[in-house]
C-alpha cells in the first residue's frame, strides 16, 4: 500500500464529519483531524488509527448536534414536529388520491396490483414524500439543518418503525392463525415478512435524512476536498 493511501483518513467518516460541521468551522475541525491522522497511523498502526479517526468523528458529530440543539431548541423541535405531521398528512393525501384514482379508472384491470403498490406505497409514501419533507425541513432551519434532520429522522424512526413492525406482526399472526385454517395451500408467509416490514419502516427516516443531506450539500459551496 502506498504511503499516500496509508495517511488518508476513512472517507465515509470524513464525509459525515464534513456534513455535520457548520460552514464557520469547516476549515478548522476536519482540518485538525486530517492533520492528526498520519501521526495516529505512525504511532498506533493503520487499523487502530482508522478506529481512532472514526471515534473522533462520531464524538465530534455528537458534540456538533448537541450544540445546535442548545442553540435553537424550539426552532428545531417545531420544525421536526411540523415536518413529521406534514409527512403524515402527505402520506394520507397520497393514499386517498391513489385510492380514488385506482377506483375511478380501474387501473388494476390493466396493471398488476403489486406494481401499483410498489409505486405509491413504497416509492411515493416512503421515499419521495419523506425526501421532499427532509429537504424542506433543512431549508427552513438554516444553520441548524443537520440537527433538525437528525431529530426529524429519529422521530420518524421511533414513531413509525414500531407501527410498521406491528403491521408485519399482525400479518404474521393472521397468516399463521387464520389463513392456515381457511386456506391450507396458501403461499408461505414466513417471518421474512417481519424483515420486509422492518425495511419499510426504515425507509422514511432514511429518506428524510437523505432529503436534508441533499439540501445541506446544495447550501455548502466552495469547500476544499477532504483528502490531503
Partner 1 sequence: MSNRDFLGEFELVVLLALLRLSDQAYGVTVRREIEKRTGRDVSIGAVYATLDRLQSKGYVRSRLADPTPERGGRSKRFFRVTAAGIAAVNRTHTAVQKLIEGLDLSGSLA
Task: Judge whether 48 and 36 are in contact, CB under 8 Å.
Answer: no
CA atoms within 13 A on the CB side of 116: 16
> CB neighbours of 155 closer than 8 A, spacing ≥ 6?
80, 81, 84
**134 near 210, Cβ under 8 Å?**
yes
Residue 186 Cβ vs partner 1, minimum distance, rounded to whole Å? 54
Q: Which is nearer to partner 1, 132 or 226 (CB)?
A: 226
C-beta closer to partner 1: residue 30 or 83:
30
Which of 32, 93, 195, 218 touches partner 1 by CB under 8 A? 32
Q: Is 38 exposed, middle or buried (0-12, 13-18, 19+ CB in 10 A)?
A: middle
Among 16, 33, 40, 133, binds partner 1 (CB under 8 A): 33
Size of the residue set binding partner 1 (CB under 8 A):
28
Q: Which of 13, 40, 49, 60 binds partner 1 (CB under 8 A)?
A: 60
Q: Is 55 in the site for partner 1 (CB under 8 A)?
A: yes
| Distance, CA of 195 to CA of 171 (rounded, Å) | 12
Nearer to partner 1, 34 or 156 (CB): 34
Q: Is residue 95 a contact residue for partner 1 (CB under 8 A)?
A: no
Amino acid at each position: 500500500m502506498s504511503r499516500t493511501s496509508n495517511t488518508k483518513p476513512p472517507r465515509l467518516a470524513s464525509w459525515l464529519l464534513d456534513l455535520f460541521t457548520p460552514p464557520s468551522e469547516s476549515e478548522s475541525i476536519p482540518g485538525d483531524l486530517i492533520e492528526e491522522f498520519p501521526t495516529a497511523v505512525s504511532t498506533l498502526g493503520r487499523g487502530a488509527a482508522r478506529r481512532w479517526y472514526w471515534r473522533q468523528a462520531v464524538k465530534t458529530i455528537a458534540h456538533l448536534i448537541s450544540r445546535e440543539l442548545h442553540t435553537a431548541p424550539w426552532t428545531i423541535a417545531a420544525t421536526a414536529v411540523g415536518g413529521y405531521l406534514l409527512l403524515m398528512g402527505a402520506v394520507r393525501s397520497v393514499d386517498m388520491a391513489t385510492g380514488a384514482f385506482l377506483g375511478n379508472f380501474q387501473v388494476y384491470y390493466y396493471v398488476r396490483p403489486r406494481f401499483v403498490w410498489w409505486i405509491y406505497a413504497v416509492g411515493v409514501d416512503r421515499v419521495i414524500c419523506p425526501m421532499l419533507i427532509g429537504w424542506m425541513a433543512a431549508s427552513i432551519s438554516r444553520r441548524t439543518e443537520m440537527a433538525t434532520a437528525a431529530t426529524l429522522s429519529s422521530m420518524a424512526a421511533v414513531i413509525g418503525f414500531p407501527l410498521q413492525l406491528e403491521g408485519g406482526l399482525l400479518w404474521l399472526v393472521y397468516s399463521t392463525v387464520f389463513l392456515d385454517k381457511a386456506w391450507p395451500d396458501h403461499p408461505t408467509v414466513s417471518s421474512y415478512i417481519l424483515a420486509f416490514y422492518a425495511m419499510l419502516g426504515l425507509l422514511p427516516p432514511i429518506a428524510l435524512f437523505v432529503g436534508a443531506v441533499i439540501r445541506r450539500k446544495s447550501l455548502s459551496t466552495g469547500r476544499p476536498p477532504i483528502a490531503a
